[in-house]
Amino acid sequence: MEAKDKFIIDTILDTYSNIDDPQLVILQNIQEILGYVGEEYLTYVSENSEYSLTELYGVVSFYPQFRFDPPGKHTIKVCSGTACHVRGGSGIAQELEDILEIKPGGTTKDGLFSLESVRCLGCCGLSPVIMIDEETYGRVKKGGLQKILDSYKTEEVAE
Site residues for ligand FES, 99-118, by CB under 6 A, read none
CA distance 126 to 5: 40
| Closest residue by Cα to residue 37 from 45, 47, 46, 27 | 27
Query: Which CA distances in Å does 37 have to 84, 94, 147, 148?
Result: 28, 23, 31, 28
Residue 132 binds ligand FES (CB under 6 A)? no
Considering only 34, 59, 112, 124, the residue that binds ligand FES (CB under 6 A) is 124
Binding part of the chain for ligand FES, among 10-18, 50-58, 121-129, 146-154 by CB under 6 A, reads 121-129
Residue 123 binds ligand FES (CB under 6 A)? yes
Half-sphere exposure in the Cβ direction for 41 (13 Å, CA): 28
Q: Which CB sits closer to ligand FES, 73 or 85?
A: 85
User: What's the closest the beta carbon of residue 148 comes to ligand FES, in angstroms?
Assistant: 17
Say how many Å lie between the first and final Cα of the chain, rounded: 31
- The DSSP secondary-structure symbol of 107 reads B
Site residues for ligand FES, 72-91, by CB under 6 A, read 79, 81-84
Which residues would be at the binding site for ligand FES (CB under 6 A)?
79, 81-84, 120-121, 123-124, 127, 129
